[in-house]
Structures are given as structure tokens and as C-alpha cells.
A and B are shown apart, each in its own frame.
Chain A
Amino acid sequence: MSATAEPTLSRDDHRLSSWRGVVRQYDYHWTVYKRTWKSSIVSSFLSPLLYVLAMGVLLGGFVHVGAARLGGAPSYLAFIVPGLIAAQAMQTAVFETTYPVMGALKWHKSFWAQLASPLEARDLANAMLAFTLFRVGSTCGVYFLVMSPFGVFGTWWGPVAAWPATMLVGMTFATWTFAFSAFVEGPDSFGLIFRLGLIPLFLFSGSFFPISNLGPVLEWVARLTPLWHGVNLTRMLCLGHLDWPTAAINVAVLVVLLVAGWRTAVRSLTRRTAL
């Protein structure tokens, strides 16, 4: 402690850089993850594989249509796997940014404790989103690895390129869900988000069947959902049938939504915590 009469600030005189703001929370998220990772195994790794087995392999055995009706996929399994991985990215991201955010605000109040340190709302949002990125990346990464010996990928580089694509999908959902969670008063609306948002997206955004099966009107509605862009992009990359203009649109839509969502998330938390 200095002994000068009129104190001035010397260290940390400016705002922390975004990078340092996130790095300082690394120990927190790592400690929490070390304790909780086991309980995420079933939902992150086992559940998706059960879906692949039930829908892709067993139900897929009854699908006898040409590749043309499956977006160029040689089998129903090859069709459904990329879709399920993209959907898993969405689900992981949404779960990591609903109850954990509410908990940090209302139950264990870690956000409030962190705000008494040099960290700002922006840093808290960034660190939680960075952790979500890690969860999405690891979950989808394992998914790709486990699927690779089963001949569902057209090329070796396809899944390598599709991996970041799934992270892009996940983070698009993570940012918007984070913004929503920081905005709503309590967790009651999460049930509705899952039922009216997550499940319909999961079931109708082209993960399980080509959206052309929906009929012309609903097909266009499906095209407007961010998950369809993610599923389509992931699938094209995995199958190795890349339609560049479509892929560019998919990427552009997701990136724009991601950036807008990120800004909204930071603004939402800033507003919530500045009372």
C-alpha cells in the first residue's frame, strides 16, 4: 500500500482488453468444468450417438430412395449424421447459455461477485461464450471423430472443414440465447424456449429429412431458420458436394447473426447489471 497523500491510479489504469478479461476467468470455468464434465457425458456424447443408431442405422434401413432425394447423400445415415451434429451444436450452445446464465445472475450470483473485480459485463459475457465455444467444439469434435470410421463422409477434409462450421452454428445460437437469458426475469420462459424453439428447429430444419419434403411454403420457412443454414453447410461439407454460392450464403447468414447476437448479448448483460 502506498503512503502518498493523494492517491492516484497506477496499475490497471485503463479498461482491461477483451482478451485479458476472458483469460482472467479461465480458472473459474476450468474449475467448474472439472467438476461437472462427467455429468455432461450422457447429454453431450451418448445421446447423439443413440440418435444416430436409432434413426440413422435402424430406421435408415427402411429408407430406399436415391441420392437425389437425399441431398446427394449415398445413404440415409450419411444424410442424417451431419444434420444431427449441427443440431447437437445448437443444443449444446443453448443449454450452456440458459440455466448457467440464470444461475450466475440469480442463484449463485457469480456475475455480481465478478463485477466487483476489474471485470466488466462485456468480459463476463465473453468468457461464458468462450466456454460455450469450448463445449460446442469438443462435443462436435468427438462426434465427427466417432463417425469417421463409418464411411459417412465424402472426403477427409469435409469433416475437418465442417467442424468450424458447427462451431459457427453453435455460437450463433449461443449469443442470441445468452442475450435472451440476461434479459428475462426468471427461468420460467426457458421451458417455452425449448418447446417452441429448440425442438421444432431440431425436427424441421433439415436434420432428419430434406426440407423439400415440407412442401413449398414450409420449405421457405425452414430456409429462414439459422439452423437450416448450419445443417445445409455442414452437410455439404461432409458429403463433399459443395455448392459454393449456397455455402457462401449460409456462412454469411450465420456470421451476420453471430456478430449481431454477440453485440446484443453484451448489451443485454450490461443493461441487466447496471442498476
Chain B
Amino acid sequence: MIHARDLRKSFTDKAGHVVEAVRGIDIDVRRGEAFGFLGPNGAGKSSTMRMIAAVSPVSGGELRILGRDPAEHGPAIRSRLGVCPQEDTLDNELNVFDNLYIYGRYFGIPKREVRERAEELLEFVQLTDKRSAKVEGLSGGMKRRLTIARSLINRPEILLLDEPTTGLDPQARHILWDRLFRLKQQGVTLVITTHYMDEAEQLCDRLVVMDRGVIAAEGSPLELIRAHSTREVSELRFPVGDHEATAEKVADLGERVEVLPDRILVYSDDGEHVLEQVHDRGLRPIATLVRRSTLEDVFLRLTGRTLVD
């Protein structure tokens, strides 16, 4: 469905510097799968999404969407994509139904059909009782659901979701995940960017971790954990200031040891065994926790622990 080779995007920012947002990535998204882009802010996820949405010209490399070049067949490609942008671009001055109806008309869908589809979609995203409400008064979760409904009005084959649940409360996120899961079951190909690891594990069959414009790793969530982390992680918390010194004493217990400001992480295949050995060496952590490795461990390992803005 989506095929990219050495895809690049650069632009000139306001200060006149050339910014290389995407620096040569290869992607293949297959029909019916849920594909995720993970990465910190500024990793190039949104730029990639905009190129896939056929609204942002490609700076270099090859990109094919539904087998076509977006530079030549932009409108044709867009007519079969659904786009749910990071920022809601709903029309605040129209009511909920009109937002769907008018958007559908941009795709050249006949009036009657758009009306039918709009009603169906309102049902699907549980907004039927808000049909005539102004968009302005909707909650963040409702707006997001309406944006998703709007992106489905043309029955797209690929749905692009740029950080679909950023800023939503837990309740709203779960409703949204459920709807996206249903779409996937209906055969819609999902392409999602996110920096929530739980979201990526929930939704994505396959994902790439992007960092500074390149792909740092690729695979299914499980594969990534296997390849870039261990089965289990033991978290050890010591009194403040002791971490660096203590880390040296446990360095040989796991495959890898990571020192965080507030705790030490020991990566191994048997976390309980690590704890026993820690106690055997006479170390007394304030608190301990053994858990399974998550994508977050992979993510932090691959993209570094410094906060990126």
C-alpha cells in the first residue's frame, strides 16, 4: 500500500537554515495491517505522514502510495486516504453533522450518499446525539472522534492518524482505541504516529522507531523488545545520590544496566534472580520492582534518555 525508498524531506526554516526532517527512510506498509511510527518530538514522524498524505512534496527518494507517485497523482491518492491530523482542523462554525457532510462533498460523493454515510459514522463514533451541536462546545475526545469520523467519510483504504490520542483522558483514549481496532478488523490499513508506548503496543502490528530523521529499528512490538531489550527488567531504588556507586556493584548481574535519576534498571531474562543476587551482595534497595520489558525500554534505549523538544 505504501512503499518508500530512501525517502527524504528537507525545508528551509524561518531563520534560513535548511532542516533535514527526514533523512532517507525505507518503509513498506502492507494491506490491512496497522503500522506505527514511534519517536520523540522532532524525529520526522509528522513530516513523513504529510508526505504519505500526498500534501507535502517529497524532497528526495522514492514514494509510492497505492502504487502511484503522489507528485503526479496527489488528488487521486488523497481520494482514497483518510487523514486525521495532529491538530483538529474541524470547522468550529459548522455543526457536527455539517462538518461531515461538507467534507464528504469535497470528495465528490453524491449528496444523498454523503448524508447516509455521515449518519452511519456519527453512530460509529458515538456522536449521534451531538448531531446538531456546535463543534466548539465538544470535549477533546469528542472532537477527536469527529475528526476520525470525518476522515472515514470517503471510505478510505488507508487511514493516517497523527498522534490520535495526545491530550485525551484515559476514558477517551480507550473508546478511540476500540474504534480503531474495529476499523482494522474491517480491513482498513492504519498508519499511526505516537509517542505513547502503550498505544503502539495496543494498536500496531508492526512499527518503526524514528530518531533524528532516520529509522532506528523496525519490527513487531514483540520482535523489537526481543531484539533491543531483555525479557524482564528489575527496577532498584536506592537513597538519593547512591545510584552511580551502586550501579557498579550490580553491573555484572544483567545484560545491561541503566542508571536513571531516580532508580537503576537491570535488564535480564530472570528479574527475580537478579533481586536475589542483589540481596546476596548485601545491597538494600528502598524499593524494588520486577516487570516485563516494554516498548518504552526499547524506545529509550534507541533514542537516548535525554528529553527532546
Contact = CB atoms under 8 A, between A and B. Distances in A.
B219 interface: no
Contacts of A119: 75, 106
Interface residues of B, number: 46
A187 interface: no
B55 A116 contact: yes
B75 A109 contact: no
A24 B98 contact: no
A37 interface: no
A113 B93 contact: no
Contact of A117 (B67, B101, B103): B103
A24 B77 CA distance: 17
Contacts of A110: 89, 91
Given A7-B67, A27-B101, A275-B11, A12 B76 contact: yes
B85 interface: yes
B92 interface: yes
Contacts of A194: none
A40 to B, nearest CB: 15
A247 to B, nearest CB: 41
Interface in B134-177: 150-151, 154-155, 157
A156 B187 CA distance: 65
A9 B55 contact: no
Summarize B's interface: helix, strand, loop or mixed. Answer: loop
A1 B187 contact: yes
Interface stretch (A14-22, A196-204, A231-239): A14-22
Interface size classification for chain A: 35 or more
Interface of A: 1, 5-9, 11-16, 20, 24-28, 31-32, 35, 108-110, 112-120, 273-275
Given A13-B73, A15-B74, A112-B89, 12 more contacts: A9-B76, A12-B76, A14-B73, A32-B93, A108-B91, A109-B87, A109-B89, A113-B91, A113-B150, A117-B106, A118-B106, A118-B107
A31 B114 CA distance: 15
A28 B56 contact: no
Contacts of A120: 74-75
A13 B76 contact: yes
B204 interface: no
Given A7-B1, A7-B31, A14-B76, A115 B55 contact: yes
A116 B85 contact: yes
B85 A112 contact: yes
Interface in B78-105: 78-81, 83, 85, 87, 89-94, 98, 101-103, 105
A9 B73 contact: yes
A118 B79 contact: yes
The 3 closest A-B pairs by CB, nearest first: A118-B75, A116-B83, A117-B106
Contacts of B56: 274-275
Contacts of B285: none
B98 to A, nearest CB: 6
B86 to A, nearest CB: 11
A116 B53 contact: yes
B131 interface: no
Contact of A113 (B1, B11, B67, B103): B103
B257 interface: no
Contacts of A114: 106
B67 A20 contact: no
B155 A1 contact: yes
A28 B75 CA distance: 19
Contact of B66 (A7, A28, A112, A118): A7
A11 B94 CA distance: 29
Nearest to B187: A1
